[in-house]
Structure 1
Amino acid sequence: MARRSIGCLPWMLGGILALAWMGEFTRPPPLQVETFDPRSPRRPLPQWSDEAFVIEDPRDAPGDSMGTAFAVDRDGAWLTAEHVTRDCSRIGLQQGNIARAVSRVIESREADAALVRDGLPSEDVLPLSGRMPAPGSIGFHMGFPAGRPTLVVSELIGPASARRGQTDQTEPVLAWAEVGRIPAGDHTLSGISGGPVLAEDGHVVGVNSAATDRRGRILTTAPDAMIRLVVASRAVNDQPVAYPFAGLADAEARFASWLEQGAIRRIYCDVDEGAPRLTATVPNG
């Protein structure tokens, strides 16, 4: 069995977070986090591949960080990565020069995906699919690696499994091989975590989860696991039409349009020791 180490993607902000938090002085309600886990001894998840990856979590204590989120319902439902929202005291979506605080998040325990229930409304939303693309097909990863809007182009290697940190839990993922970036560069992909990966048919087929430090492998959540979280949330009613990409220029133009329309945004995690955080479980089924 092949096993490779791969890095976690959130961009650590340290003490340089410049955005003001909307609601900081009005004391927003505590962050409410629900968990969803469809796994059970009677219904184990399929093992897709013998290839395995180990996702290395940061060794330091959790700190302020930034990732990517994208709109999936016009009323304010947004998808991102679970490790972007994990252990946060506050979570906010960028709105101009402020981080607009959210208070309702559902995190998957099956895959690296989380859904914000009460985010900013968006006139434009991205279409989702639970179908895996064919190996060798092109993927378009969108987000903010190192804080910069970047389109990463890849080829799908196929399904695999990943284990995060020192846990025994594995999760199904798709493994992609990076083939290019716009704009060109070799900086870290930290910060693209939580952004969408779109197949050639125009559907989002996963959430960016982890990557090697240099050009190499990119891991995204399994598309069916992403859809199970969306269905369990009962927060997504929109079903926008997906249009196949006409090529790289079309993908670049759509990314620019979604950025302009605010359908893809930076998402911020603020960590305060001792801050309130309420956790509940979403019933399965």
Structure 2
Amino acid sequence: MRSVHWRLVVFAAVAHAALSTTSAHAHSSDAAPPSFAPVAKVARPAVCHIFAAQGARPSAGGEPLEEFSRRFFGEAPPRNAPRRSLGSGFIISADGYIVTNAHVIRDATLIRVRLADKEEYDAKLIGSDPKTDVALIKIEPRGTLPTVRLGSSAALEVGDWVVAIGNPFGLAQTVTAGIVSAVGRVIGAGPYDDFIQTDASINPGNSGGPLLNLDGEVIGINSAIFSKSGGNVGIGFAIPIDLARRIIDQLREHGKVVRGWLGVSIQEMTADLAKSFGFDRPHGALIADVIPGGPAERGGLQRGDVIIEYQGHAVLDSQHFPTLVADTPVGSHAEVKVLRHGEEKSLTVAVAQLPEPKPQVRAATDSDWGLAIADLTPNLARRLGLPTQRRGIVITTVAPTSAAAEAGVQSGDIIREANRHEVSTVREYRTAIAGATDSLLLLLQRGEFSSYVALRRE
């Protein structure tokens, strides 16, 4: 049975935006504007191209022509080449503060910014928030920079015209237009999902670029697309600027984001659950668990409570409740109204700071490195075009874009050593790598020659 898998493609894009008050707001007219040029003229000077390098992979030797082929014909890049991402950003202050996506500059050892006038600067990371995919960087310009005005995403309506500016596939200063297809869209990117969906053409390279209204104001940060192929299919997503603005302000002031925390796990109240809890319709956020000793437990919240109001805001569903809590000042007291066994109860909970997630270290398996392996049998050797008398561990599959693929590992390679231990069976190999967490050293045989390859897991 054939299944179609949509994948969320996160991409990078050069984006730049500036003020524009020359065009009427989209929903003031049912007709398309005669031209989007007024928006483009004021916004493009503030859009910039962001280049981020994440450091070099360890060299393990290799043939120069083979490495060249991988680089320029769509295969894995050279082992000694740094990983790169290209993206977009937009200038929000004349002294050089630039907003982009967190995934564009993630783990970057070098951030380079090219402005619309072709001037280039090294940038410093001010702060990054992976939970919302927002980052703030800073350059030291030689003069005053053009800026973009931040609007409000709260006033957006489905059907409003929007304009995207960015660097799709490296094509700098590209302008596309479309409409708002949906607001408040949840796409499974994290607990603070609240995306603007648009059919404006957005492609890899647009990440971090601005989504603008017809007043030339930024109302979103282009962040993701849904696609089978990685290209635009008319479904793009942007982070609402009202959400991003709160993150930007914290990053600028503190270099990080501090969020409120109650210590509860919530889930959606479905129609079946509502019926089981004795409600006539689904509403509220159902508490599935309460963390022992956390603020919620101390405040009297219980598993099975249904939160219907928080700080005076009606809680209609579980979708936006995490954002309400996250925006609550740490140390303040939140008024929470719940339904418990059909009765309303009002409770007061002291809001704590969301703890940093504890890093989880675990032993790696072969699949973590992008490898599928098997003991080499005569039949398998024949299928792979290897000598039938050869024995050992053979790599049968290498996952695209994996650590193994980037290091130049190929199906048909024979593993002779793993982390300096000689191995001849899959069992021996897995014993040898059991303690590996971040790196793995393999001795591979390809044809008559052997070479060491270092894999690093992100």
Q: Structure 1 unaligned runs (5+)?
A: 12-18, 22-58, 181-187, 236-279
Distance 1:97 1:118, change over 3 A: closer
- Matched position secondary structure for 2:249: helix
1:90 aligns with 2:90: no
184, 187, 197: which one aligns with 1:175: 197
* Aligned AA (1:6): L
CA distance in 1, matches of 2:88, 2:166: 6
Match of 1:257 in 2: none
CA distance in 1, matches of 2:51, 2:90: 21
Equivalent residue number for residue 11 of structure 2: 9
Q: Offset of 1:169 from its aligned partner?
A: 4.2
Which is richer in strand? 1
- The 3-state SS of whatever aligns with 1:136 is coil
Which residue matches 2:137? Answer: 116
Change in 2 beyond 3 A, CA 1:111/1:63? same
Query: 2:238 aligns to what SS in structure 1?
Result: strand
1:23-172 maps to which residues of 2 (within 5 A)? 63-94=83-114, 99-118=120-139, 120=141, 122-132=144-154, 133-148=156-171, 149-159=173-183, 160-164=185-189, 169=191, 171-172=193-194
Report the alpha carbon displacement of residue 118 of structure 1 after superposing the two structures with TM: 3.9
**Structure 1 residues 172, 110: closer, same or farther in 2, change over 3 A?**
farther
* Distance in 2 between residues matched to 1:69 and 1:140, nearest whole Å: 15
| Uncovered stretches (5+) of structure 2, i.e. residues with no partner | 14-49, 53-75, 260-328, 330-458
Q: Secondary structure at the match of 1:154?
A: strand
Give the partner amino acid of 1:194.
Answer: G
Q: Which residue of 2 aligns with 1:210?
A: 224
Residue number in structure 2 paired with 1:269: none
Question: Which is helix-richer, 1 or 2?
Answer: 2
Partner of 1:33: none
Relative distance call for 1:225 and 1:218 in structure 2 (3 A) is: same
Residue 176 and residue 99 in structure 1: after superposition, are their counterparts in 2 closer, same or farther (change >3 A)? same
CA contact 1:73–1:125 (8 Å) conserved in 2: yes
Contact 2:212 2:219 in 1 (8 A): yes
Q: Find the partner of 2:240 among 219, 222, 244.
A: 222
Counterparts of 2:51 and 2:169 in 1: how far apart (Å)? 19
State whether residues 126 and 137 of structure 2, in contact with CA within 8 Å, keep that contact through their aligned partners in structure 1. yes
Q: Give the aligned partner of residue 28 of structure 2.
A: none
Percent same amino acid among aligned pairs?
21
Change in CA separation of 1:86 and 1:134 when aligned onto 2, cut-off 3 Å = same
* Equivalent position SS for 2:187: strand
Give the alignment's TM-score, normalised by structure 1. Answer: 0.56
Of the two, which has the highest radius of gyration? 2
Any idea what SS the aligned residue of 1:162 has?
coil
CA deviation after TM superposition for structure 1 residue 102, in Å: 1.7
Q: Deviations over 1:71-117 (max 9, x none)?
A: 00011111111110112111111257775222232112442221113
- What per-residue deviation string (whole Å, max 9, x for no partner) do you get for residues 212-259 of structure 1? 313311110022211102222346xxxxxxxxxxxxxxxxxxxxxxxx
| Alignment: residue pair count | 185
Q: Is the 8 A contact 1:208 1:220 kept in 2?
A: yes
Measure the CA separation in 1 of the matches of 2:106 and 2:237: 18
Partners of 1:112 and 1:123 in 2: CA distance: 25
After TM superposition, give the deviation of residue 143 of structure 1 in Å.
0.8
Alpha-carbon spacing, 1:75–1:169, altered in 2? closer, same or farther (3 Å) = same
